[in-house]
Homo-oligomer: A and B are copies of this chain.
Amino acid sequence: MPVGTQGTVKGLTGRDLVEDLRVRILLANTYHLFLRPGHDLVRQMGGLHGFMNWPNAILTDSGGYQVFSLSGLRKITDEGVVFQSHLDGDRHTFTPESTIDVQLALGSDILMVLDECPEYPVSHEVARESMERTVRWARQAFEHYRRRIAESPTRHALFPIVQGSMFPDLRRRCAESLLELNAEGYAIGGLSVGEPRPLSLEMVEASEDILPRDRPRYAMGVGMPAELPEYVARGVDMMDCVLPTRNARNGCLFTSSGRIIIKHARYRDDSRPLDQYCQCYTCGKYSRAYLRHLFLSGEILYAMLATRHNIQRYLDIMREIRQAILSDSYPEYLKTVRSASADAG
């Protein structure tokens, strides 16, 4: 899922996303939209689908992660979290119930429960307390959600989130506790918080055999191109990440033969497309030399073209993965991408 934090995937129009890239779901950040323009305004404008004129699915996070990573002063209690806006310092509160209300106002298709995402590293004791709070909040969120949904003619889904820091036993206990909610899908949170990559994969593995196989599993906030097949190999069905879009803007482009750092002098007079195998608009129309010029000149068009390409690359990887699974050749596929990734260094 491409990330559309503030109700837009940075640098792309709806047409780019739907017609060119065939994006079927994107993620929007509840924290950002709650602060600006405000969920009530978004609801009034037809929900996020109407406001940003988006015809496909939208998944929203609960806002919890952004409260922990972006806002200033924050205080966690059993009731929820009090925090200061990173925009104007205003004080707000998120509770398990209120974040459901905000996400329903946004008209999200897939909602997330409020969770606590501990920093890395923390002690087992702190991780356990935090995980238990996350489970309690998930129960409250589901209770509130089911009441609200009973009145609603629209179809939504709510996913609880497996936490437990980097402790496999806590991850397993968390997953087991969340099963009782009989959710339509399960998210795995608290990854990519500074831990070494093998540890992230181990944490996904920890709950893999507990989470129901017939429901989507969503690894939140991952990952690099070479990691996507690894997560899928560990039972993950959905991922979101700012990497394709943010790295694009910073000059890092992903291709089928590795990364391109576009500012490098070697691309100065390189008339080839970023990736000769890529079907995106950028690769069909523009050279590395032109993209380098746009990047060095700080041109908006650079961000537009680079983002388009990186999203295409990520979606191509996911299409390859689906194809390999459907043709029953995933182990071979994984072997190939692992050795290609090792070659690329």
Contact = CB atoms under 8 A, between A and B. Distances in A.
Given A300-B300, A304-B304, A293 B37 contact: yes
A11 B298 CA distance: 11
A56 to B, nearest CB: 14
Contacts of A37: 268, 289, 292-293, 296
Interface in A298-345: 299-301, 303-305
A246 interface: no
Contacts of A294: 6-8
Contacts of A292: 37
Given A7-B290, A45-B269, A281-B15, A36 B296 contact: yes
A281 B13 contact: yes
Please give the count of copies of this chain that the complex contains: 2
A8 B37 CA distance: 31
A10 B301 CA distance: 6
B53 A286 contact: yes
A51 interface: yes
B6 A297 contact: yes
25 contacts: A6-B293, A7-B294, A8-B301, A10-B299, A10-B301, A11-B300, A11-B301, A13-B285, A14-B285, A15-B281, A36-B296, A37-B268, A37-B289, A41-B269, A41-B289, A45-B269, A45-B271, A45-B287, A46-B271, A51-B287, A51-B289, A51-B293, A53-B285, A300-B300, A300-B303
How extensive is the interface on chain A, given as a class?
35 or more
Interface in A196-224: none
Interface string A11-24: 11111000000000
A52 interface: yes
A182 interface: no
Contact of A290 (B52, B268, B285, B305): B52
Contacts of A289: 37, 41, 45, 51
A266 B306 CA distance: 35
A68 to B, nearest CB: 21
A242 to B, nearest CB: 14
A44 interface: yes
Given A6-B299, A269-B41, A51 B290 contact: yes
A45 B290 CA distance: 9
A169 B46 CA distance: 62
A297 B41 contact: no
A46 B333 CA distance: 40
Interface string A57-95: 000000000000000000000000000000000000000
Nearest to A297: B6
Contacts of A285: 13-15, 53
Contact of A13 (B6, B36, B305): B305
